[in-house]
């Protein structure tokens, strides 16, 4: 067992849209990421995805309307729901998702991270 300080983990990297794995439990990954700008439209056909905003503000665009999250708020994006994360300013998030979840879901592009770094 190891204690994890989210602030320390986030201080260890600067890249946006490149999640880092902090822990694994029951086939799930606990990740942190720094987000800024617009990601890409994508979905996760087999996995739900939880976004918890630690710092800043994050908008999850969906085809049926946007959801804006502030610090301390989270949203579960159900499997199969197409979404587009957008952060006007740098935003820090904690992600909780199955270990098989690819950050770009059903899309492959320059932001795809096949093997996130473990912190």
Would you list the domain boundaries of the chain?
6-118
14-21, long-range: CB within 8 Å, 24+ apart, which pairs? 16/90, 17/103, 17/111, 18/111, 18/113, 18/116, 18/117, 19/95, 19/103, 19/113, 19/116, 20/116, 20/117, 20/118, 20/119, 21/116, 21/117, 21/118, 21/119
Q: What is the pLDDT tens value at each position of the chain, 119 positions in all?
A: 789 999 999 999 999 999 999 999 999 999 999 999 999 999 999 999 999 999 999 999 999 999 999 999 999 999 999 999 999 999 999 999 888 887 777 878 777 777 877 88
CATH number, span 6-118:
2.60.120.10
């Amino acid at each position: 067992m190891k204690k994890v300080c989210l602030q320390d983990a986030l201080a260890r990297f600067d890249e946006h849209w490149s999640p880092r794995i902090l822990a694994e439990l029951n086939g799930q990954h606990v990740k942190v990421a720094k987000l800024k700008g617009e990601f890409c439209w994508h979905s996760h056909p087999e996995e739900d995805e939880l976004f918890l905003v630690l710092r800043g503000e994050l908008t999850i665009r969906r085809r049926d309307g946007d959801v804006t999250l502030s610090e301390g708020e989270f949203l579960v994006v159900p499997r199969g729901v197409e979404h587009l994360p957008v952060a006007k300013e740098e935003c820090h998030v904690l992600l909780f998702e199955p270990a098989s979840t690819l950050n770009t879901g059903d899309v492959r592009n320059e932001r795809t991270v096949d093997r996130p770094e473990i912190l």
